[in-house]
């Protein structure tokens, strides 16, 4: 009975979220942010970032009402060029990363199917945020787009796995895009580990699984790429290894609950004390 009630609460929260997106988020982007960005083009990124942060908070807030839980630890500096590298479990990965980023929303690498006309919010949002759009079927064209994107003074979000994980486990990196960008320009890499979101892998999964989401996202650290191009493959391999190791640590800490080690608890507590906004939805 309790499981049925939790499922019902999650489905209701998801339904209310869809209604809010249709009645508030979409019109505010199309008629508010887009118009303001045309009037004040120099402030476009600030306007888009402010709108995105509000929308992401509301999205996670509605799902929290349905039983979802989140924890974020760390902050990503998006004031200049850089790369955010993370694993991919759910459609909620992007809202989570957005709320960890200061002061601007990162431009995430998107597949061309999300930029097609007729899809709500996304095509316009991608254009306003200057997100690079790639066609996975066009390998060379996609790499050219990524090389061009990294030349700008924008922080880019990329999922080197190439797709969402089916079971929440870290997949093998498909490093061509990441290597192409690092070869084009040596920019700092922000490595982020996220776990517990696989119950919401697809939009349709939210109907019955909102209460099963217990997401944890942590900044592993900032990495500076090597100067020599020949060292970049080993650097990317290190990112994959460190990400995998951090996920193992996160899962062990979750299983141990309150008995987690004092050092881990101290790091988390210090981060939350420095910025209370990194916790919660």
> What residue ranges define each of the domains in the chain, with the CATH number in brackets?
2-259 (3.40.1130)
Could you give the angle at which helices 93-100 and 44-65 cross, rounded to 10 degrees? 120
How is residue 151 written in tokens? 């030349």
What 3-state class would DSSP assign to 161? coil
Nearest-angstrom CA–CA distance, 10 and 48: 29
Residue 95 has pLDDT above 80, yes or no: yes
Nearest-angstrom CA–CA distance, 204 and 175: 29
Could you list the beta-strand ranges (E) of 153-225. Answer: 155-158, 189-195, 214-223
84 compared with 112, residue with greater pLDDT = 84
For residue 69, list its beta bridge partners.
214
- Comparing 89-98, 112-121, 234-243, which segment has the lowest mean pLDDT? 112-121
pLDDT in tens, 17-35: 999 999 999 999 999 999 9
How is residue 60 written in tokens? 């996670």
pLDDT at 200: 77
pLDDT at 269: 40
Mean of the per-residue pLDDT values of the chain:
88
Q: Give me the phi and psi of 72, to 5 degrees please.
A: -125, 135
């Amino acid at each position: 009975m309790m499981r049925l009630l939790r499922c019902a609460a999650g489905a209701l929260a998801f339904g209310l979220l869809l209604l809010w997106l249709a009645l508030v988020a979409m019109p505010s982007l199309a008629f508010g942010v887009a118009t303001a960005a045309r009037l004040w083009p120099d402030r476009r990124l600030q306007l888009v970032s402010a709108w995105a942060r509000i929308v992401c908070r509301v999205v996670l807030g509605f799902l929290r009402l349905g039983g979802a839980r989140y924890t974020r630890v760390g902050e990503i500096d998006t004031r200049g060029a850089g790369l955010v590298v993370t694993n991919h479990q759910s459609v909620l990965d992007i809202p989570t990363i957005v709320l960890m980023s200061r002061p601007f929303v990162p431009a995430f690498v998107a597949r061309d199917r999300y930029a097609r006309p007729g899809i709500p919010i996304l095509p316009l949002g991608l254009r306003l945020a200057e997100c690079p759009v790639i066609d996975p079927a066009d390998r060379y064209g996609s790499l050219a787009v990524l090389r061009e994107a990294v030349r700008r003074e924008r922080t880019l979000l990329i999922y080197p796995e190439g797709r969402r994980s089916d079971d929440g486990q870290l997949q093998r990196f498909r490093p061509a895009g990441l290597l192409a960008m690092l070869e084009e320009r040596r920019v700092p890499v922000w490595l982020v580990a996220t776990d517990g979101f696989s119950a919401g892998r697809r939009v349709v999964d939210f109907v019955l699984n909102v209460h099963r989401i217990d997401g944890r996202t942590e900044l592993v650290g900032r990495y500076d790429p090597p100067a020599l191009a020949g060292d970049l493959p080993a650097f990317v391999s290190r990112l994959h290894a460190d990400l995998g190791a951090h996920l193992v640590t996160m899962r062990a800490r979750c299983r141990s609950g309150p008995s987690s080690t004092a050092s881990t608890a101290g790091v988390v507590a210090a981060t939350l004390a420095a910025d209370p906004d990194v916790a919660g939805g």
